[in-house]
Amino acid sequence: MKKVSFYIALVALSSFTSCSLFEIDNKEEPGETLQGEVVDVATGEPVLTDQGSEGIRVRLIEDSWGENATPNPDFFCMPDGKFQNTKLFKGTYYVRIDGPFIPLVREDERGVPLADESQIVDVSGVKAVKFEVQPFLNVEWVGEPQVVNGKVKAQVRVTRGVSPEIFRAKVEPMGGYNGSFLNVTDIQLFVSYSSSVGYRARDERWSNKIEYTGSAFNALLGETINIESSGTIPPGRAVFIRAAARINYDTPKGSGTRRWNYNEPLQLLIP
């Protein structure tokens, strides 16, 4: 009798293994692709960013899960303002981005929606989307950076990408508005051996920053700012540099993350 029971249990286990576990192991892997780009609505130029959590955050929620849907793991734009996710299941997704620009999703202090400029897209195969945004700042090189005695000497210009009037009109209804939000707090010069140079890929020995208090930078908007690297960069190597600036406003609201607007990276040979 014990032998019969043993054989019955063995057959049941084999049947479970050959059916249920086999089905789980052979589930199709997600293979749909979402590609995107983030551009300045005024110029059509890409919104340059950092490749990391201080850059443009992309959040996806699959609508087919209904009210119980939870976001997919967040990911971030590349430095050129583009993003890609190649591991999605086919479905309809709510796509939201947050970065150094006027928030696309805005609510008042009670959670009542004010605006939602996110996108709902059907992802099947390769799907491309474009977000047009209003960046807080524009950062540009002035002339060509120079290398003198192992130091990078650069000039940059910072201007507003959105007027104070438009910024206030869109941000103030969200509650807790403060005039200091528009203050430019710092300009960074990031230096690295990596072409992905930025806050997340910087060499602290040579990167440098200029900090400003209160509204001190207002008088410097549109003016040429001189900034140079720290330390002495060893000769005979190429480095990459980028400049960045940010305002005293976090996105998403309440996250504590103040994101930089960047200019394009440049490569320099250290003689």
Is 262 found in the same domain as 231? Answer: yes
Question: Within a 13 Å sphere around the CA of 59, how many CA atoms are in the beta-carbon half?
Answer: 13
Residues 248-266 have a mean pLDDT of 96
Task: Evaluate if residue 7 carries a pLDDT over 60.
Answer: no
The pLDDT of residue 30? 86
Domain boundary among 102, 133, 164: 133
Band the pLDDT of 11: cuts 50, 70, 90: very low
Domain boundary among 103, 133, 163: 133
Distance CA 2, CA 41 (A): 77
Is 214 found in the same domain as 199? Answer: yes
Q: Is residue 10 part of a domain?
A: no
Is 96 found in the same domain as 70? Answer: yes
Residue 122 belongs to domain with CATH number:
2.60.40.1120
- Cβ atoms of 101 and 46 closer than 8 Å: no
Is 155 found in the same domain as 217? Answer: yes
Structure confidence by residue, pLDDT tens digits, 211-220: 999 999 999 9
Is 196 found in the same domain as 154? Answer: yes
Q: Is residue 17 part of a domain?
A: no
Q: Which amino acid is at 19?
A: C
Structure confidence by residue, pLDDT tens digits, 82-117: 999 999 999 999 999 999 999 999 999 999 999 999
Residue 231 belongs to domain with CATH number:
2.60.40.2060
Structure confidence by residue, pLDDT tens digits, 17-72: 444 444 554 567 888 999 999 999 999 999 999 988 999 999 999 876 656 567 78
Distance CA 227, CA 209 (A): 8
Domain boundary among 133, 164, 182: 133
Is 127 found in the same domain as 169? Answer: no
Q: Is residue 22 part of a domain?
A: no
Number of domains into which the chain is organized = 2
Residue matched to tokens 């300009």: 187
Q: Is residue 123 part of a domain?
A: yes
The pLDDT of residue 63? 78
Q: Is residue 8 part of a domain?
A: no
For the chain, give the mean pLDDT. 90
Domain that holds residue 116: 32-133
Is 155 found in the same domain as 120? Answer: no
- Strand, helix or coil at 174? helix
Is 157 found in the same domain as 95? Answer: no
- Strand, helix or coil at 23? helix
Is 129 found in the same domain as 141? Answer: no
Alpha-carbon radius of gyration of the chain: 25
